[in-house]
Amino acid sequence: MTTLEVRDLTKTFHRHRAVDGVSFTLTPGRTVALVGESGSGKSTIARMIARLVRPTSGEITLTGQDGAPVARRAYRDHVQMIFQDPFASLNPFHTVEHHLARPLLLHGRSRAEVPHLLERVSLSPDLARRRPHELSGGQRQRVAIARALAPGAKVIIADEPVSMLDVSIRLGVLKLLDRLQREEDLAVLYITHDLATARHFSDEVLVMHRGRIVERGPGDDVLLRPRDPYTRQLAAAAPDPEARFRQGGQP
Amino acid sequence: MTWSGKLRAGLLLAGLIVLFGLVGPLLTGDPATIRDVGLTPPGDGHLLGTTITGQDVLAQLAHATRGSLWIGLLVGVMATVLSGVFGIVGAYAGGAVDEAFSLFSNVMLVIPGLPLVIVVAGFVPADQRGTWTISLVLAITGWAAAARVLRAQTLSLRNRDYVAAARVSGEKTWRVICVEILPNLLPILASQFVFAVVLAILSEAGLSFLGLGAADSSTLGTMLYYAQNGFALQREAWWWFVPPGLVIALFGGALSLVNFSIDEIINPALRERVRRGRDVVATTPVVAPADEDVVLTVSDLNVVYQGATPVHAVKDVSLTLRRGEILGLAGESGCGKTTLAYAVNRLHRPPAEVTSGSVVFDGVDVLALGPEELRRFRWVRLSMVFQGAMNSLNPVTPISAQLQDVLRTHRPSMTATDRAARCAEVLRLVGVDRARLGSYPHELSGGMRQRVMIAMALLLEPQVMIMDEPTTALDVLVQREILNEIKRLRDELRFAVVFITHDLPLLLELSDRIAVMREGEVVEYATAEEMYLRPRHPYTRQLLASFPSLTGERGALIR
Amino acid sequence: MGYHLRKVAFYLAALWAAVTLNFVIPRLLPGNPVDILMAKLQQRGGSVDPAARQAYETLLGTGGRESFAQEYLAYLGNLLRGDLGVSVSAFPAKVSDVIGDSLPWTIVLVGLATLISFVLGVGLGALVGWKRGTWLDALVPATTMLSAVPYFWLALILVALLSSGLGWFPLNGGYDVVLDPGWNPEFLGSALYHGILPALTIVLSSVGGWLLGMRNMMVSAMSEDYVLTARAKGLTGSRVMIRYAARNAVLPSVAGFAISLGFVVSGSIVTEQVFSYPGIGSKLLQAVQNNDYALMQGIFLVITIAVLGANLVVDLLYGLIDARTRDRSTVS
C-alpha cells in the first residue's frame, strides 16, 4: 500500500502564506480532488509534493508497499506529476520517444517499454517518433500521462490536466485517468477549478481558499450540500443551464 | 525549418568569403613579395592592382581575410562560452549566483568596450600584443550583451513545464541544462555567436587601423592601416583601400542576413509574409432588409486565409442578430468563431480575406464601407470586448487615456469636462470606482480589467457588442459577477451581444439564441431552450455530452 | 528599494568597477609604464624629481614597494581630488585640463549624432514595421549593411567622395584654424560645418541597429491585442501606430540603449581619429601612441563616466515611460 500523507503543509512566499497548514492523505485506488480558484495555493501543493518547491514547514511522507517510509532517493520512483499545459510540458526539441525513454531509463527500466506505455494511454506506438508539435492537444496530454506512469509511479499528481484542452476531448482524458486509477490501483490527486468534474471523478473533494482547506468530504456532500460559505458561493457561480430550463417548467 | 531566401543568400555569401580566406592564400602566393614598381591599377597581371610598395593586393586581401576570420572565430567562440557561463548557468542556478552573475554582466555591459581595449592595448608593449592577446581582450569586453539575452531566455525556459517535468522524472541538473534547455537556446546562441564574430572583426579592424592590433597578424584592419598610411585614397588608389572594407562589409552583411533568418525562427511573427490583401469585397452595397427588429445580418459569409494551402476559416455563415438579443457563438479552438467576429467588424488582417458574402448592420453594408467610413463605424455602432483583458489594454498608458481616446476621436466636440464625466459614468455602470481612472492596467485585477474593457465598450452606446471569450481567463466567481453585469447592462441599455465562447453550458444559461460552429460552418442555429432540450446536430450533442452536470446524478452529463 | 534608487546604486557599482579596473590594468599587464613615463618626461624637459615619480607611481603602480591597499587608497584619494596626473604628451598640461579642452567637442558631436540616429532609426523602424509589405521593407537590409561597414572606412570613403572629390566639406579638423575658438557666430558656424561629416558617419553607421530593433518590436507589437483593440475602437491609423504600437515597441530600444551607446562611442573614437577631430577620442589615441599613460587612463575614466551617466539618464527616463518598472522592482 503506497500512501502519501501530507501533514500541516505550509508555504510562505514573501511573507504571504500561499499554503497554510494543509493535511490530507492519498491512498491507492482513490482520487482526491483539490478544488479552488487561481491563487488559492493548489498548484503550490502539487509542486511541493512533486519536490519542485520546498515546503516552508510541514511533512510529506510516503509509505511504501512494505509499510516502511520510502527513502528520499526512491521518492520519484513512486510519485509523479502531470502538468496543466501539454503544449508547455513537452520539450519541443525532443521526440515522444525521448520523453518516455528518459524516465524509464532513470528508474531502472528499459526503453523497450515505450510502445507498451503508449498503448496504456490509448495511443498508437507509431507516435513515438513524432515531436510534440505534430500531436494534438489530447495526444500530448496522453503522452504526459504516459511519462508520469513510466517510472512505475503509484501516486499521480494531476495539476489541472484538462483545462488547456478543447472541451470535447476533456472527458476522454479524465476517463483515461479514472480507468488507470482503478486498473492500476493508483493514488491520484486531481487538482482543478472545475467543480463538476471534481465531483464526478473523485472519491473525496477538498475545497481550497486562500491557502487553506475550507471544506472536505465526499463530492456529493461538498458540492450539493456545501456548508462553508465560500464553497456555497463557488457552487452557485458555476453555469447551470438546468436551473434555467427547470424554472421554465421543463423536466 | 524552411530555408528562406535570406538565409541561403547570407550563408552563400559568408561561405564564399570563408572559402576565399581558406583557399585564397594558397593560390595567390606570398603577399609580401614585391611584384612591380607599385600602385598599378587592376589589370592583367594583378587582378586588384598593387600596393604602393608593389605587392599584389589580391594576395594581401586573401591573407588578410584569413587573419580577420581567424580572430573573428576565436573571439566568437570565447565570447559565446563566456556569455553561456554567465547567462545560462547563472540564470539556471538562480538566487545569489544569478544576482552576482547578472550584476557582473551588466557592469561589463555598461563599461564601454573599445576604449577599454585601447587602454589595455596601450599598456601591453607592441611586441607582446599577439593574436591571442587581442582576441582574449576583445572576447572579455564583448560577451556581456549576449549574456543578458541568454539570461533572459534561460529564465523563461527554466520556468517551462518541460523543465519541471524533467526534474520530476529525476534528471540531474547538468542534464536538464544540456539536454532540455540548451537545444532550445541554440537559435539564440547561434545568433549571438554570429553577432560576436561580426563585432570582433569590426573591432579588430578598428584597432589595427589605429595601429593597436596584433603585431603578429595580418588582417583586413592592418591592410587598411597600411593603405591609409600609404595615402591610398589621396593617390586615388581605390583598389588598395576599398576591397578590405568591402570584404568586412559583405561578410558582416551576410551574417546579418543569417541573423535575420534566425530572428524569424525565434519570433514567428516576423516570418509571416505580409500581403496587402483586398480590403473591400462588396462594391455594390447590399439593400437593407425590411425587418426593423434586426440589427445585424450576416449572409453567406466566407473568410479564407490565403496561403500556399488556403484555409477556409468561415464557410457560408448566415446569422441574424435582433436588437437587444444575446447571440451565443459556440465552438472549439480553430472553429472559426473568432475569425467570424473579426470579419464582421473588418478587423481581420491579411492573409485572411473575406471572399464572398455580406455583413449588413442596421441598413449599412459594412463590407462596402470606405476606410474612413469604416473607422467612423467602429465602436460607435459596434464595440468589442476581447478575451485577454490583460492584453487588450495598452500597458503603458493609464485607463483614463484609453477611455478618453475613444471620445476624442469619435466625439471631437465634447469638452474635457464632459469627457471626464462620461468616463467616470461608464466606470460607475460596471461597478468600478472612478478613482481607478488614473490606474495603469497592471495595477488592476483581471476581473477589474475586464470591467474596464466593458466600460470602454459602452462609452459610445453602441447597438451591438461583440464579446470574444470575455470571461474565459477569469475565475468562476469573477466570471459570475461579469456575466450578471452583462445581463443587467443589456437589460438597462438594450444593446445586442454576440457572445463567443467554448463554454456551451454558459451560453445555454445566458443566450437567447445559439449558433454552434465547427470547422468554419454553423452546424446548428437555434434558441437556447431548443438547443438544450432538442439538440439536432451530432456535434452539438457531442459538445453537450462533454460537460458533466454539477447538480445532476453522479455520472450524469449536462445533457 | 525603489526603482530609481536601485538604478543609481547600480551605476555607482559600475563606476566603482571601472575605477578599479583602471587601477588594476597597469599593474597586471606586462611592461614598466612608470619608467617609460619618466624617460618621456625627461625628454620633454620636465622635472624628474621624486615627487613626479611618486605621482605616476600612485597612478600606475609602485612595483611592489607599497601594498596594494595603500596604493589603492592613494589612487582613490587622487581621483576624489580630481587629480588625474600630468600629461607627458602635452607637458606640462594637467590631464584634467587636456580632457577639459577636448571633452565638449566629443559630447556635442557624439551626443547629437546619437540623438539624431536614435530618433531617425526609431522613427523609420516604426514606419517600416507599420507599413510592412511595402517598398519600405528594403530599408532594413540597406541600413543593416551600413552597420556592418567599419566606421573609419565609411568615414574615409565619405571624405574621399564628398570632401576631396566634390569639395563640399572640409577634409578634417573641428573648426577653421584661422578662427579663434569662442562664442561667436563665425566660429560656431565653422564648428558646425566641420561636424557634419563626422556626424553623418556616425549616424549612417548606427541608424541600422535602431531601425532593425524597432522594426522587429513594431511587428511584434502589432500582433498584440491592445493594437487590435485600438483598431476596433475606430481610432485613426496614425494614433494607433504612435500611441499604441510604437509607444510599446520603443521600450526595448530604450532598455537596450546601453548596448547601442557602447557601439557608438567605440565607433566615434575611430571616426574622430579619421577627421583629426579635436575631441577626446583623438586625444586617447594620441595618448596611446605617445605612451602617455596618465592621459590614457584619465580619458578612459571620463568616457566611462559619460557613458554611465548617459545610461543612467536613459534608465531613469525608462522608468517614466513604463510605469510597470517602478512597481515591479519593489516586488523583486
Average pLDDT, chain A: 90
pLDDT at residue C210 tops 70? yes
- Please report residues of B whose CB lies closer than 8 A to that of A37: 475-477
Selected residue of C236, C266, C317, C324 to mutate for chain B interface (largest B Cβ count, 10 A)? C266
What is the C-alpha separation between C272 and C109, in angstroms, rounded?
10
Q: So what's the pLDDT on residue A249?
A: 43
Query: For residue B239, what is the enclosing H or E element?
Result: helix B238-266
Residues on chain B touching A209 (C-beta within 8 angstroms): none
What pLDDT does C329 receive? Answer: 43
Residue B314: predicted pLDDT: 92
Which residue in the set C132, C229, C327 is minimally distant from B392, CB to CB? Answer: C229
C151-190 core/surface letters (b: 16 or more CB in 10 A; e: else): bbbbbbbbbbeebeeeeebbebebbeeeeeeeeeeeeeeb
Q: Would you say residue B41 has pLDDT above 60?
A: yes
The most confident of A89-103, B209-223, B545-559, by mean pLDDT: A89-103
Reported confidence tier of residue C188, pLDDT bands at 50, 70, 90: confident
Cβ-Cβ contacts under 8 Å, C285 against chain B: 118, 210
> Mean pLDDT over residues B186-210, rounded?
88
Least confident residue range of A19-28, A60-69, C259-268: C259-268
A positions 55-84 inside 8 Å of B (CB):
76, 80-81, 83-84
pLDDT at B275 > cutoff 60: no
| Chains touching B (3+ CB pairs < 8 Å) | A, C
Chain B residues lying within 8 Å of C21, measured CB to CB: 111, 116
Asked if C251's CB is within 8 angstroms of B391's CB, the reply is: no
Burial group, residue B267, by CB count within 10 angstroms (0-12, 13-18, 19+): middle
Whether the pLDDT of residue C332 is over 50: the answer is no
Q: Enumerate neighbours of A (3 or more CB pairs within 8 A).
A: B
Q: Which chain A residue is nearest to residue B548, measuring alpha carbons?
A: A196
Q: Do A83 and B165 count as a contact with CB atoms less than 8 A apart? A: yes
pLDDT score of A65 more than 90: no
Contacts of C208 (CB under 8 A, 6+ apart): C121, C143, C144, C145, C146, C147
Q: Answer whether B305 touches A (CB < 8 Å).
A: no
B159 touches chain A (CB under 8 A): no
Nearest to B546 among A47, A88, A168 (CB): A168
Q: Using CB atoms, pick whichever of C25, C216, C228 lies closest to residue B123.
A: C25
Contact B502 A166 (CB under 8 A): yes
Which of A76, A91, A214, A228 should we substitute to test contact with B (largest number of B Cβ atoms within 10 Å)? A91
**What mean pLDDT is predicted for residues B179-208?**
88
Q: Is the pLDDT of residue C252 over 80?
A: yes
Contact criterion met (CB < 8 Å) for B383 and C18: no
Tally Cβ neighbours within 10 Å of residue B177.
Answer: 22
What pLDDT does residue B12 have?
92
Q: Tell me: the pLDDT tens digits for B225-273?
A: 888 888 877 778 788 888 888 899 999 888 888 888 887 777 766 766 5
Interface-testing mutation among B231, B250, B394, B411, with chain C (most C C-beta atoms within 10 A): B394
Per the prediction, chain B carries an average pLDDT of 86
C29 and B345 within 8 Å at the Cβ level: the answer is: no
Find which of C34-43, C137-146, C278-287 is predicted with most confidence, using mean pLDDT: C278-287
pLDDT tier at B1, thresholds 50, 70, 90: very low
Q: What is the pLDDT of residue A247?
A: 57
Q: Which run of H or of E encompasses B294?
A: strand B294-305
pLDDT score of C282 more than 80: yes
Contact A47 B164 (CB under 8 A): yes
**What pLDDT score does C62 carry?**
64
pLDDT at C100: 85
Indicate if the pLDDT at residue B553 is higher than 80. no
Interface contact flag, A243 B542, Cβ < 8 Å: no
Q: Choose, out of B159, B168, B184, B500, the residue to mutate when testing the contact with A (most A CBs < 10 Å).
A: B168
The three-state DSSP-derived secondary structure of chain A is CCEEEEEEEEEEECCEEEEEEEEEEECCCEEEEEECCCCCCHHHHHHHHCCCCCCCEEEEEEECCCCCECCHHHHHHHEEEECCCCCCCCCCCCCHHHHHHHHHHHCCCCHHHHHHHHHHCCCCHHHHHCCHHHCCHHHHHHHHHHHHHCCCCCEEEEECCCCCCCHHHHHHHHHHHHHHHHHHCCEEEEEECCHHHHHHCCCEEEEEECCEEEEEECHHHHHHCCCCHHHHHHHHHCCCHHHHHHHCCCC
| CB contact at 8 A, A79 and A62 | yes
* A98 phi/psi in degrees, rounded to 5: -60, -45
Contact criterion met (CB < 8 Å) for C284 and B118: yes
pLDDT band at C330 (very low <50, low <70, confident <90, very high): very low
By Cβ distance, the residue of B107, B122, B252 closest to C288 is B122
Cross-chain Cβ contact B206/C148 below 8 Å: no
Q: Do B394 and C251 touch (CB under 8 A)?
A: no
Which chain B residue has its CA at the smallest distance from C142's CA? B253
pLDDT of residue A182: 92
Which residue has 562589409 as its cell numbers?
B249
- For the full predicted model, state whether its pTM sits above 0.90: no
Mutation site, A167, A189, A228, A247, interface B, largest B CB count within 10 A: A167
What's the CA angle centered on B316, arms B312 and B319, to 5 degrees? Answer: 125
- d(Cα C318, Cα B122) in Å, to the nearest integer? 36
Average pLDDT over residues B425-445: 89
Give the pLDDT band of residue B280 (cuts 50, 70, 90).
low
Cβ–Cβ gap B476/A84 under 8 Å = no
Set of chain A residues whose Cβ sits within 8 Å of the Cβ of B475: 37-38, 193
Q: What percent of chain B has pLDDT over 90?
A: 30
Residues of chain A contacting B548 with CB distance shorter than 8 Å: 171, 196-197, 199-200
Q: What is the mean pLDDT of residues B352-372?
A: 89
B552 neighbourhood in chain A, CB within 8 Å = 242
- Report whether pLDDT(C223) > 50: yes
pLDDT of residue C255: 83
Q: Mean pLDDT over residues C293-315, rounded?
A: 87
Give A-chain residues touching B179 at CB under 8 angstroms. Answer: 94
Option in B111, B115, B270 nearest C284 (CB): B115
Strands A155-159, A79-82: parallel, antiparallel or unpaired by DSSP? Answer: parallel
Q: What percent of chain B has pLDDT over 70?
A: 94
- Is residue B283 predicted with pLDDT exceeding 70? no
pLDDT 10s digits, C229-249: 999 999 998 999 999 999 999
Among B119, B145, B387, the residue with its CB nearest the CB of C25 is B119
Show the cell assigned to A162. 484538462
The predicted model gives B525-554 an average pLDDT of 86
Question: Of B304-308, B333-337, C321-325, where does mean pLDDT reach its minimum?
Answer: C321-325
Per-residue confidence band for B333, with pLDDT thresholds at 50, 70 and 90: confident
pLDDT of residue B282: 54
* ipTM higher than the 0.85 cut: yes
Question: What band does B555 get if pLDDT is binned at 50, 70 and 90?
Answer: low
CB pairs under 8 A between B and C: 248
pLDDT of res. A208:
94
B486-520, pLDDT tens digit by residue? Answer: 899 899 888 999 999 998 989 999 999 999 999 99
From chain B, the residues in CB contact with C251 under 8 A are: 396
CA nearest B112 in C: which residue?
A: C262
Note the pLDDT tens digit of each residue in C80-103: 887 777 777 777 778 888 888 888
Contact B442 C239 (CB under 8 A): no
Whether A168 has its CB under 8 Å from any CB of chain B: the answer is yes
pLDDT of residue A250: 42
CA distances in angstroms from A181 to A148, A175, B204, B403, listed in the order given: 13, 10, 65, 52
Cβ–Cβ below 8 Å for B477 and A106? no
Please name the residue ranges forming H helices in B396-515.
Answer: 399-410, 416-429, 446-458, 476-493, 504-510
3 state SS of B229: helix
Q: Which of B123, B141, B248, B443 to mutate to test the interface with C (most CBs of C within 10 A)?
A: B123
**pLDDT tens profile A139-198:** 999 999 999 999 989 999 999 999 888 888 899 999 999 999 999 999 999 999 988 899
Rounded to the nearest angstrom, the minimum Cα separation between C185 and chain B is 32
Distances (CA, A) of B341 to B298, B371, B519: 11, 19, 15
User: What pLDDT sits at residue B547?
Assistant: 85
Of A78-82, C160-164, C207-211, the range with the lowest mean pLDDT is C160-164
pLDDT, one tens digit per residue, over B136-162 is: 888 988 888 889 889 988 888 888 889
DSSP at B231 = T
Which pLDDT tens digit goes with each residue over A68-83? Answer: 888 888 899 999 999 9
Indicate which of A89, A155, A250 best probes the interface with B, i.e. most B CBs within 10 Å of its own CB: A89
Return the higher-pLDDT residue of B165 and C66.
B165
Mean pLDDT over the full length of chain C: 82
B contacts of A250 (beta carbons < 8 Å)? 529, 533
Interchain pair C236, B118: CB under 8 A: no
Rounded to an integer, what distance in angstroms lies between the CA atom of residue B72 and that of residue B77?
9
pLDDT tens per residue, range B108-126 = 888 888 888 888 888 887 7
In this complex, the residue of B111, B202, B391 whose CB is nearest that of residue C18 is: B111
Contact assignment for B551 to A224 by CB distance below 8 Å: yes
